Amino acid sequence: MPDVSHSVSKSLPAPVVTIKLPTAFNALTGGQKQVDVEGDSIREVLSGLERSFPGVLERLMDQKGSVKRYVNVYRNDSDIRGLEGLETKVENQDVIWIVPAVAGGSGTTGAQESR
């Protein structure tokens, strides 16, 4: 029997994942909290997200094409930095969480004198 797994897999539809969006992106997403997107990898699903909400990638990516340090992207519970980054494969019904960092702190005076 010939091996058809390759051609069969190519004919399968791309996985559909759910992307959970942070309130930090409300201005771009019209307040939508989650969206289903097709794609085989994190890169593909983020590109799909960009097609739905232009400008999202500007929040996510730096000029070198990497995910910004101030944004975390998780496939289910795993930070994609610990996987294969943007090339991380996704599976049907995976949940992709986009979570900007929560950080700040005291140290030097800011612009308060002008306010």
The interface with another protein within residues 62-81 (CB under 8 A) comprises 62-65, 68-72, 74, 77, 79
51 SS3 class: helix
Considering only 17, 19, 28, 90, the residue that binds another protein (CB under 8 A) is 28
| Residue 18 binding another protein, by CB under 8 A | no
Selection from 16, 49, 12 nearest residue 32 by Cα: 49
Nearer to another protein, 1 or 109 (CB): 109
- The Cα–Cα gap between 69 and 4 comes to 42
Nearer to another protein, 4 or 111 (CB): 111
Token digits of residue 111: 């612009």
Cβ proximity to another protein: between 1 and 112 the closer is: 112
Identified binder of another protein from the candidate list 44, 80, 94, 96, rule CB under 8 A:
44
Q: How far apart are CA 73 and CA 22, in angstroms?
A: 11
The tokens 């942070």 sit on which residue?
22
Which CB atom, from 1 or from 110, has the smaller least distance to another protein? Answer: 110
